[in-house]
């Protein structure tokens, strides 16, 4: 897996280790409208699956998207992919909203393993896209517009770091050292 995605996963795994399924279901300030730890990770997993579907479609078509980014998309790309800034307050698109109740209660270790599986599968597709399409913008993100493999990875790292901050705010304490946000020193 690409080093940036591996580092992102390691930060999550460190926070999630030894967390019980019950602990992962506690909502911030007991407000069920705010995502709990499991929902945050499930949301990320859903985004990896959604991106993977986009990549498979591009690979099946055998050509990059013909779309060009609009002005708003170019600005979003600049802030997210160049500066690593993820805007807050935007609701998740319907296809990546986690379930309120888990289909199967998972502890932190199992949840982190699921996250790793989906990240690895997505990154394998990104590698295939890079081999086929090179460094050009090849697939359209629903907010950022057409972006390259490098930008897709950057988006997922920045998005994951955004949610890692939320996960930390839930009070999940890692056993060893403080989990690092990717790119922080």
Per-residue model confidence as pLDDT tens digits over 11-28: 999 999 999 999 999 999
Residue 41 lies in a domain: yes
Number of domains in the chain: 1
The answer to whether the CB of 156 falls within 8 A of the CB of 85 is no
Q: What CA–CA distance (Å, rounded) separates 153 from 159? A: 10
Q: Residue 107: which CATH number?
A: 1.20.120.450
Rounded to 5 degrees, φ, ψ at 28 are -55, 135
Pairing outcome for strands 145-147 and 139-141: antiparallel
What's the pTM? 0.91
Kindly state whether residue 140 falls inside one of the protein's structural domains.
Answer: yes
pLDDT of residue 181: 55
Q: Is residue 157 part of a domain?
A: yes
Structure tokens at 62: 């055998």
In a domain, 121, yes or no: yes
For residue 177, name the pLDDT band (cuts at 50, 70, 90).
very low
Decide if 19 is inside a domain.
yes
For residue 157, what are the domain limits? 3-169
The answer to whether position 181 is within a domain reads no
For range 58-62, the mean pLDDT? 98
Does residue 174 sit within a domain?
no
Query: Which distant-in-sequence residues (6+ apart) come within 8 Å of 58 by Cβ?
Result: 64, 65, 129, 133, 138, 139
Task: State the pLDDT at residue 176.
Answer: 41
Mean pLDDT to the nearest integer, 81-89: 93
178 is a domain residue:
no
* Whether residue 185 has pLDDT greater than 70: no
Average the pLDDT over 8-13 and give the result: 97
């Amino acid at each position: 897996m690409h080093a940036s995605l591996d580092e992102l996963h390691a930060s999550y795994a460190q926070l999630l280790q030894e967390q019980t399924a019950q602990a992962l279901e506690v909502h911030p300030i007991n407000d069920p409208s705010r995502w709990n730890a499991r929902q945050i990770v499930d949301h990320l997993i859903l985004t990896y699956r959604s991106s993977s579907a986009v990549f498979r479609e591009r690979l099946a078509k055998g050509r990059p998207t013909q779309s060009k980014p609009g002005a708003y998309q170019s600005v979003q790309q600049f802030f997210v992919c160049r500066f690593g800034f993820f805007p807050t307050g935007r609701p998740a698109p319907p296809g990546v909203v986690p379930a309120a109740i888990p289909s199967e209660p998972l502890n932190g270790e199992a949840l982190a393993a699921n996250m790793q599986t989906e990240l690895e599968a997505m990154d394998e597709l990104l590698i295939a896209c890079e081999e086929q399409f090179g460094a050009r913008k090849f697939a359209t993100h629903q907010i950022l517009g057409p972006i390259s493999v490098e930008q897709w990875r950057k988006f997922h790292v920045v998005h994951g770091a955004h949610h890692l901050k939320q996960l930390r705010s839930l009070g999940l304490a890692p056993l060893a050292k403080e989990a690092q946000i990717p790119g922080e020193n």
